[in-house]
Structure 1
Amino acid sequence: MEHTVNVFSLRVPGPKRVQFRRSFVYRHVEKTVHQALVQKLARMVSSLHAARLLLEEGFVQEQAALQRILDEIIEDVSFLSFSVISGNSEPSHKNYLEWFFQEEFDPNDAVVSSKARPSVPRQKIRAYLDRCVSGPKGSSKDLDAYKTVSKAYSGFVHAASPQIMDMYGGAPPRFHMRGMQGTERQAEHSADLWNCFYRGIMACCLSAKAFGEEELFVSIRKFEAEFLRETGNDYQSNEWPRCRPLPSV
């Protein structure tokens, strides 16, 4: 996946130095959909590395919170990729790009203050993806599944009580605040993280199509088949209930 991002980064105009106050920042000044894809994929790969490290140390609560972020990144990559692949770019895509590239702070403001950042509603993004996969009418069942999974992982982000209580147990029962290595929770989250790795591969695959990189697309599809053969094919790791390290990104 890192290789894929590096290939794509060479296919777009590179970041340029832009003055910010008395220094500078790097920015993609053209603000294209392909530049947005490169940025989103780079953050996706970084987050997969981070989630893997958290899992290995048993910090599964924090891993799950990061998976919530990964869910949205992967949805965004698909949302942008399909708009190029299908040639069906909607007003929401234009808005997404405008708001994605919007600066967080006003460089001309004497007092650094955050600017309001609008966003395309997550529900609208998921509905668009659902129509791309299920047809013009979409599937309410699939949208319900999106919503359920998102809500469950939001509990880890916002530290809801049911999710926090996953940290409690043992003999004597206590809160495990230094990770949950060797516990059933670590094994569960190991199997679950497989899905993020698989979806990350598919996000690279869609992006290759959006970039018109057919050779790379075929290569990623072959890697996907190998990944399924080696690790599982039922949307969770075949290492369950055993807990082993995940493959490198």
Structure 2
Amino acid sequence: MERTVHGVAERVPQPQRVPYKDSYVFRYVEKTVHQALVQKLARLVSSLHASRLLMTHGFVQEQAAMQRILDELQEDITFLSLGVIFGKWTSLHDDYLAAFFEEEFDADSAMESTQKRRMIPRKKIRAWIASMEGGLDPSRGVELMRTISKAYSGYVHAASPHIMDMYGGNPPRFHMRGMLGTPRHATHRADLWNYFYRGIIAFGFAAKAFGDDQLFSTIRNFADEFARISGKDYQSAEWDET
């Protein structure tokens, strides 16, 4: 995945140094959809690394919160890629890119800034994706994505039922240094495999959006092999006995 990001990053106009205060920052000045895809893919890989690191040390609550971020990254990549692949670019895509590339602050001081970042409603993105998925009732597709998002949002916003997953043992107590070796750890470790698989699929969409059929074929073969090794339900086969 990292090699793919570096490869596609070379195919778009490169980031430029833009003056910022007494120094500079790097920015994509053209603000194209393919530049956006490069950035989203890079963040996807970084988030997968972070999720795996948290899982390794048993921090399953934090891992699940990262997976909520991964949900949106994968949706964003799918949304942008399909718009390019099928020539179904809409004003919603234009609005999304405008909001994505918008700077966080319009003044030297954050307190003086009047900038208010526009947020494209997630439900609109999900509805558009669902409308492109043949054979699936769009309303059912939207509800499926919303349900997954809602489940993991509880970890992001620290809802009580989710926090209580940290509580247990003999005597019962809150486990605040991770849940390494517990049944919760095993469950979340198995769940993470699905996010890696979905990440691979997102890379496949992006390859198609770049018009690279050879890269797409390589990714598709990799996805097939990943699914074969992972076992049923795209979970690690090592958890069949859990």
Q: Same fold (TM over 0.5)?
A: yes
Name the CA distance, whole Å, in 1 between partners of 2:110 and 2:122: 34
Tell me if 1:51 matches 2:51: yes
How do 1:30-49 residues align onto structure 2 when only pairs under 5 Å count?
Answer: 30-49=30-49
1:156 aligns with 2:155: yes
Deviation for aligned residue 1:106: 1.2
Local SS of the residue matching 1:239: helix
SS at match of 1:17: strand
**What aligned pairs does 1:127-166 form with structure 2 within 5 A after superposition?**
127-134=127-134, 138-166=137-165
Q: Tell me which residue corresponds to 1:2.
A: 2
Q: Which residue of 2 aligns with 1:125?
A: 125
> Matches of 2:157 and 2:140 in 1, distance apart?
26
1:14 partnered with 2:4: no
Please tell me whether residue 93 in structure 1 is matched to residue 81 in structure 2.
Answer: no
Structure 2 stretches lacking a partner, 5+ long: none
Check whether the contact 1:21–1:107 (CA below 8 A) recurs between aligned residues: no
The answer for the alignment partner of 1:28 in structure 2 is 28
Question: Structure 1 CA distance, aligned partners of 2:114 and 2:173?
Answer: 40
Using structure 1 for the length normalisation, give the TM-score: 0.93
Matches within 5 A, 1:204-223: 204-223=203-222
Deviation at 1:237, TM superposition (A): 2.8
Aligned-partner Cα distance in 2 for 1:147–1:16: 37
Secondary structure, counterpart of 2:234 in structure 1: coil
- Work out the CA distance in 2 between the residues paired with 1:110 and 1:189: 38
In structure 2, the CA distance between the partners of 1:110 and 1:131, relative to structure 1 (3 Å rule), is closer
Shift of 1:72: 0.2
> Which sections of structure 1, spanning at least 5 residues, go unmatched?
244-249
Cα 1:110–1:41 change in 2 (3 A) is closer
Cα distance change on mapping 1:24 and 1:232 into 2, 3 Å: same
- Cα 1:130–1:175 change in 2 (3 A) is same
CA contact (8 A) 2:107 2:113 kept: no
Matched, 1:193 2:192: yes
2:193–2:234 CA contact under 8 A, matched in 1: yes
Task: Please tell me the residue identity of whatever aligns with 2:86.
Answer: S
CA drift of 1:141 comes to 2.0
Q: Which residue of 2 aligns with 1:228?
A: 227
Three-state SS of the structure 1 residue aligned to 2:3 is helix
- What is aligned with 1:247? none
Instruction: Please give the root-mean-square deviation of Cα atoms over the aligned residues, in Å.
Output: 1.7
After superposition, what is the alpha-carbon deviation per residue over 1:94-117, rounded to whole angstroms, capped at 9, x for unaligned? 000001000001146695536211
The AA in structure 1 aligned to 2:50 is: A
- Counterpart-to-counterpart distance in 1, 2:95 and 2:195: 27
Please report how far the alpha carbon of residue 196 of structure 1 lies from its aligned counterpart in structure 2 after TM superposition: 0.7
Whether 2:82 is the aligned partner of 1:82: answer yes
Alignment check: 8 A CA contact 2:102 2:117 kept: yes
Matched, 1:104 2:94: no
- What is the alpha-carbon distance in structure 2 between the residues aligned to residue 146 and residue 3 of structure 1? 29
User: In percent, how many aligned pairs have the same letter?
Assistant: 60
Residues 17 and 26 of structure 2 are in contact (CA less than 8 Å); yes or no, is this contact kept in structure 1?
yes
What residue number does 1:246 align with?
Answer: none
Is the Cα–Cα contact under 8 Å of residues 104 and 114 in structure 1 kept in the other structure?
A: no
TM-score by length of 2: 0.95
Q: Which moved more, 1:47-56 or 1:115-124?
A: 115-124
Higher RCO, 1 vs 2 (CA within 8 Å, ≥6 residues apart): 1
